[in-house]
Amino acid sequence: MQSETTRIEAFSDGMFAIAITLLILEIKVPRQEQGHLAAALMRQWPSYLAFLMSFVYIGVMWINHHRMFTHIRKSNDVLLILNLLLLLGVTVVPFPTAVLAEHLGGPDQKTAAVLYNATFLVIAVLFNVLWRYAVGRHLLDRTVSNAAAENISRQYAFGPLMYLFCLALAWINVRASIATNVALALFFALPASLLRKRDVPPYPTQ
């Protein structure tokens, strides 16, 4: 028997795929009047950096979304709306990515970094809201114990705190904020098996 969330997952997968594909459109092909091709390509390093960061972030968010819905087996109208809000945040990611790529290294790089980090902070909060609603409304698979659900909730709470730290750091040092973003993306990309406690089902690390 199919889970009630099958269509939610299929639709969400499509939205993640579109968002991650749109990122590459911000990397432009240098024109001949811009000078030597090699030099023009090198000048686009902020675009490459922003693209790779956002690609990893969206990829990890997709992994975590998949992990989350291995536990959520029932749905209702509110869950659908909360998932749509989460996907709204995901589809917005190409815009702050383009802003960061355009202004990194310029006088407005702090504002661009704040916008970029704020986007992921909102997405992390929405992840928490979606998961906690599913727990509170007993929409989880019966095999997930209360202890396991609580452990997942604690792991989710870690994400917004780290993104908030990156947001605050952007006001002080943009380079340090970006470096922390990269480290955070690598951390969230770790397999769940390296992070979960013994005898606790796999859980999202977002």
- For the chain, the domain total comes to 1
Predicted confidence band at 128 (pLDDT cuts at 50, 70, 90)? Answer: very high
Q: Could you tell me if residue 182 is inside a domain?
A: yes
CB 192 within 8 A of CB 67: yes
Q: Could you tell me if residue 28 is inside a domain?
A: yes
C-alpha count within 13 angstroms, C-beta hemisphere, residue 110: 7
Q: In the numeric block, which tokens belong to residue 91?
A: 């589809």
Q: Could you tell me if residue 199 is inside a domain?
A: no
Residue 116: what pLDDT?
A: 94
Domain that holds residue 151: 6-194
Q: Could you tell me if residue 146 is inside a domain?
A: yes
C-alpha span between 113 and 31 (Å, rounded): 28
Q: For the chain, what is the mean pLDDT?
A: 86
Predicted confidence band at 19 (pLDDT cuts at 50, 70, 90)? Answer: very high
- Average pLDDT score over residue span 60-64: 89
Residue 201: what pLDDT?
A: 41
Taking 60 as the threshold, does the pLDDT of residue 10 lie above it?
A: yes
Q: Could you tell me if residue 205 is inside a domain?
A: no
Q: Could you tell me if residue 203 is inside a domain?
A: no
**How far, in Å, are 21, 48, 108, 155, 204 from residue 158 at the CA level?**
28, 28, 29, 5, 11
pLDDT digits (tens, 9 = 90+) for 113-125: 999 999 999 999 9
CB 206 within 8 A of CB 159: yes
pLDDT digits (tens, 9 = 90+) for 160-179: 999 999 999 999 999 899 88
Q: Could you tell me if residue 204 is inside a domain?
A: no
- Average pLDDT score over residue span 131-155: 86
Q: Could you tell me if residue 115 is inside a domain?
A: yes
> Bigger pLDDT: 68 or 155?
68
- Average pLDDT score over residue span 115-137: 94
- Could you tell me which residues are beta bridge partners of residue 72? 140
